[in-house]
Homo-oligomer: A and B are copies of this chain.
Amino acid sequence: MIGRLNHVAIAVPDLEAASAQYRDTLGATVGAPQDEPDHGVTVVFIELPNTKIELLYPLGEDSPIKGFLDKNPSGGIHHVCYEVDDILAARDKLKENGARVLGSGEPKIGAHGKPVLFLHPKDFNGTLVELEQV
Residues of A at under 8 Å CB distance from B? 1-5, 8, 10-13, 18, 21, 25-28, 48-51, 53, 55, 72-77, 80, 82, 93-94, 97, 99, 121-122, 124-127
With A25-B94, A26-B82, A82-B26 already in contact, the answer to whether A5 and B48 are too (CB < 8 A) is yes
CB A63 to nearest CB in B, in angstroms, measures: 17
With A8-B80, A82-B26, A97-B25 already in contact, the answer to whether A75 and B126 are too (CB < 8 A) is yes
CB A23 to nearest CB in B, in angstroms, measures: 11
User: When chains A and B are docked, how far (Å) is the Cα of A59 from the Cα of B98?
Assistant: 30
Given A5-B51, A5-B53, 20 additional A-B pairs, CB 8 A: A1-B26, A1-B27, A1-B28, A2-B26, A2-B27, A4-B48, A4-B49, A4-B50, A5-B5, A11-B125, A13-B125, A21-B125, A50-B51, A72-B126, A74-B125, A74-B126, A75-B125, A76-B121, A77-B77, A77-B126
